[in-house]
């Protein structure tokens, strides 16, 4: 069992947990993820590592209440424990001195962007952070991002905070005004990452995205998290989660992300797994 040592609600239905997991914290690196299971009957939830403290032995996760399992996770409080906390999994972010790096975060994507931006800055890069959300209520970790970046630009879809527009609007303006960066990394909802990749492709800018696919075992055995990259099948859990955004088949990913919507709704309606048993739930 893994103890929750701290809990914060960052925005409506968005929570931050510090989990006591010394072995995971010792080896965790920016860009990797863990798999959480609330209890012995729970499904496996992949979550990108948002931060870690090796001395305290804690790992920080941030998640939004989306389906039955994440809503169940959100009901826990500091002092409670979760059944499983497996990781670190996946390939760490490639950190080196590229020059100018733009980190684009959409919604909850701010959390996994943060440690990567921090490492990029520590490596000597000029780091421009662009973070966006639907509205002001959903903006969080702005101060942390300011520390991790050389400069931070914030936007909201409805204009309720700082400026109105999408992260792609801000990115295009930055490219036009300040020239092409050496690398763009985008993390957030699939449509947002696709839009960023389409934009940067126009300018020939290397772009990485971090995918959070449906997973089961997280070790490359089941194939549930497969994605097509450059015409080849890859597994997000062992080959990713980061891939060249210009090579990812986003249409396929979007289709696969929606394939369990019926089961997810059944799970919410019934207050439990909607798959009918067998441990194959994805809600």
Domains observed in the chain: 2-89 (2.40.30.10), 100-257 (3.40.50.80)
Express each pLDDT in 22-78 by its tens digit.
999 999 999 999 999 999 888 889 999 999 999 999 999 999 998 888 999 999 999
* Residue closest to 61 by CA, chosen among 40, 23, 32: 32
Q: Does residue 169 have a pLDDT over 90?
A: yes
Indicate the annotated binding residues for [2Fe-2S] cluster.
222, 225, 237
What's the pLDDT band for 264 if we cut at 50, 70, 90? low
Q: Quote the pLDDT of residue 219.
A: 77
Question: Can you tell me whether residue 200 is helix, strand or coil?
Answer: helix
Among 113-127, 222-236, 251-265, name the most confident range.
113-127
**Average per-residue pLDDT for the chain:** 91
Indicate the annotated binding residues.
222, 225, 237
Three-state SS sequence of 245-273 = CCCECHHHHHHHHCCCHHHHHHHHHHCCC
Q: At what angle do helices 250-257 and 190-203 cross, to 10 degrees?
A: 180
Residues 258-263 have a mean pLDDT of 67
Please give the model's pTM, rounded to 2 decimal places.
0.90
């Amino acid at each position: 069992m893994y103890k929750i040592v701290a809990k914060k609600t960052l925005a409506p239905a968005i929570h931050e947990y510090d989990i006591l997991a010394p072995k995971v914290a010792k080896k965790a690196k920016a860009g990797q993820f863990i798999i959480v299971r609330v209890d012995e009957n729970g499904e496996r939830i992949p979550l990108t590592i948002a931060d870690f403290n090796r001395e305290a032995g804690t790992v920080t996760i941030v998640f939004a209440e989306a389906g039955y399992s994440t809503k169940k996770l959100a009901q826990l409080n500091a002092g409670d424990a979760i059944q499983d906390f497996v990781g670190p999994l996946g390939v760490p972010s490639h950190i080196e001195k590229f020059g100018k790096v733009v980190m684009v975060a959409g919604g909850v994507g701010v959390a996994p962007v943060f440690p990567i931006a921090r490492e990029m800055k520590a490596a000597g890069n000029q780091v421009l952070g662009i973070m966006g959300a639907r509205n002001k209520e959903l903006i969080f970790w702005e101060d942390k991002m300011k520390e991790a970046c050389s400069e931070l630009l914030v936007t909201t879809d409805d204009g309720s905070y700082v400026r109105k527009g999408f992260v792609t609007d801000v990115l295009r303006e930055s490219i036009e005004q300040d020239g092409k960066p050496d690398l763009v990394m985008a993390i957030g909802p699939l449509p947002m990452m696709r839009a960023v990749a389409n934009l940067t492709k126009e300018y020939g800018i290397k772009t990485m995205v971090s995918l959070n696919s449906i997973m089961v075992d997280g070790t490359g055995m089941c194939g549930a998290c497969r994605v097509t990259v450059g015409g080849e099948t890859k597994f997000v859990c062992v080959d990713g989660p980061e891939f060249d955004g210009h090579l990812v088949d986003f249409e396929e990913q979007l289709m696969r992300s929606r394939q369990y919507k019926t089961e997810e709704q059944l799970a919410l309606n019934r207050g439990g797994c909607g798959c009918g048993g067998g441990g194959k739930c994805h809600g």
